[in-house]
Structure 1
């Protein structure tokens, strides 16, 4: 069985406390909370500590606490941003989502899950123009970005881009899964748009990396019985969780989906899900964090946009800095959507020229990326 490398431990932020254990460590022995940022930590049982600690310049983001404690820390010079009741999400969250968190209550149907309820809230609030709701979305997305940066500190991230319409049970879906598995086994952290189709396949492959090859073949057969999230997201997601239950402890990968495309649910194979309300923030962030390169599978308008969004910083990068770009399927990228000729012309004479490749077969993509990366 191949060992899958774990993500590096997140970078320590000296002044950010994101768990009760971190909070207790700082305040043990009368330690000061001055100028700390305490994020989404339940402090209702820490009233005595809060009443005695130095809180000057501290900021408490979405931390439940007793009224007496809140009044005291404010008087001591702290800022307190209280939890917002009635939301289907925590705008001050300190970590990326997990599949289990987003799909809680799936047994009652997808509409009952936090993921579906957050999308419904988004649909209501974006239509009424409520400035408070837009502020909450912005705060949420910023905390998700912060959590993602901490999670990926030191990781060699490869983005895998492709369309959402790729069905389970197809040869292309199986190929994308093999790609995710090979990249993960090579020590990369696979990051996708976090949705269905090619994105799910690559995250599935990363999940399968610690197991023998027969596991992925069997999982593909099981998933093929529910090819798409249409007409039932519930059945589609249950099939993925059935695979996770049968083979627990899979490899780690990242999904970066968005509620902007609420009809596309997140897939359950990404260990960490950085879900955003703002699609532009999500797309730019995913590409920017793919520091070891990007593989572009056949796709339509969205994937074409991602190719050139990724090409722009590479075009202006200094020698040695551009991240590899690998396009898969020569016919697709030269005839159906002739992106490759334009990309090659753009790269001519630039440092990125030696960092782009076009391959015919998806099984050649990981090897091409590793060669380009040196």
Structure 2
């Protein structure tokens, strides 16, 4: 069973993101000179810090004792201390997990780290404070770095679609079957990380190791709370109930944003790269979907994603165009006629052979394969 979305998740060999990596580096190399140590609690590694060369090193948000900090500053290392009273770590070395973002859900969603980070963002986003905007930027850059490390070597298919798709509907179950089919085909499923079609695709990927009856049962269980309104708490609890019943799910990725913080992240994406800046999140999600993107029916946000993805394919700014599959002919030709415009843009360009429109979600995996995945 696939437990990580990447076949090989490497990071820069000068980066240290855990105490285990810290100990191994000190033991094997005998020096920390030039290393970047990111978000590691070093309060009980004072002896090692005092005895090890740290010249040219950078310590980002690492807890440490005063004498250790004084010594490494004297070595010429840069120390960016932890920021007090923040509901998030701007220097984090890894993407989030559902358990991390939904910690304290038993007290209600309002008490979770996800909700507290959104509340902080709401308080600071419009005040023009350079300090707050810097913290958001540092956080988002750290998340991007962690996401790149996570997805190194993975074949990623993005699944885009509206947040309004309700649990318990045929559309939701179809999106879940799509996510399962993609995961079973060896792809890493990546979504916008929110509710609706995004959650359904992550749930389907989660269900990939289990028999088909499991997904039917899971869809029925989450259907007890069809939407994240009026209660995010109940909506999230249903998802964690599914995860508790079937704990060995397949990995997938969600890339949500606190810009739309009234929409919670979904609990079926095992790895959650959550951003403050929506533009960074949107571009990053599409750019990392290196094996193609499936667009399920959606509204303005999904239309924007279609053409955000079409533009680099049109100009080949990211290299060879990646496949684009639009699902639901009536939706994309009549209700929101994005397909005719996309087809006109693609005419006589290399992307022309990389776009497809299908009637049903079950046709999407075959269409991706036909387009060159």
TM-score, length of structure 1 as denominator length: 0.98
Residue aligned with 1:335, SS: helix
What pairs with 1:1-374 in structure 2 (closer than 5 Å)?
3-4=1-2, 6-7=4-5, 8-28=7-27, 31-317=30-316, 321-374=320-373
Conserved? CA contact 1:4–1:184, under 8 Å: no
After TM superposition, give the deviation of residue 373 of structure 1 in Å.
2.0
After TM superposition, give the deviation of residue 316 of structure 1 in Å.
1.3
Conserved? CA contact 2:228–2:235, under 8 Å: yes
After TM superposition, give the deviation of residue 9 of structure 1 in Å.
2.8
After TM superposition, give the deviation of residue 127 of structure 1 in Å.
2.6
Residue aligned with 2:117, SS: helix
User: What CA distance in whole angstroms lies between the structure 1 residues aligned with 2:67 and 2:209?
Assistant: 50
1:40–1:358 Cα change, 3 Å: same
After TM superposition, give the deviation of residue 49 of structure 1 in Å.
1.1
1:85–1:260 Cα change, 3 Å: same
Coordinate RMSD, CA, aligned: 1.3
Conserved? CA contact 1:164–1:197, under 8 Å: yes
Q: What are structure 2's unaligned runs of at least 5 residues?
A: none
Q: What are structure 1's unaligned runs of at least 5 residues?
A: none
Residue aligned with 1:80, SS: strand
Residue aligned with 1:295, SS: strand
User: What CA distance in whole angstroms lies between the structure 2 residues aligned with 1:23 and 1:5?
Assistant: 24
Runs of 4+ in 1 over 2 A off after TM superposition: 3-7
TM-score, length of structure 2 as denominator length: 0.98
Report how many residues are paired.
372
Conserved? CA contact 2:312–2:318, under 8 Å: no
User: What CA distance in whole angstroms lies between the structure 2 residues aligned with 1:301 and 1:279?
Assistant: 14
Residue aligned with 1:315, SS: helix
Residue aligned with 2:205, SS: helix
User: What CA distance in whole angstroms lies between the structure 2 residues aligned with 1:110 and 1:51?
Assistant: 43
Conserved? CA contact 1:200–1:267, under 8 Å: yes
